[in-house]
Amino acid sequence: RKPSLSSEDLSNIDKAIQQQPDITIDEIIEKLDLPVTNETVRKAVIKMGYVYKKKSLYASERERP
């Protein structure tokens, strides 16, 4: 079977992650206009050696003195 993502797509994904490390999978698909599912991109990102880091949400009141 032919791969869904070309080597050019993979290098573009890598560049997008390096430029914006907290980019989401859906943002990558939208930014690069990829005709694949988010699962395909997620698997490619993991194969590249990147790992997920959970975005932590916290109350803005913690920043006030």
pTM as predicted = 0.76
User: In this predicted model, which residue has the larger pLDDT, 11 or 21?
Assistant: 11
Nearest residue to 34 (alpha-carbon basis) of 2, 19, 17, 12: 12
- pLDDT tens digits for range 16-41: 999 998 888 999 999 999 999 999 99
Alpha-carbon torsion angle 5, 33, 12, 37, nearest 10: -40
Nearest residue to 39 (alpha-carbon basis) of 49, 29, 53: 29
Q: Which amino acid is at 54?
A: K
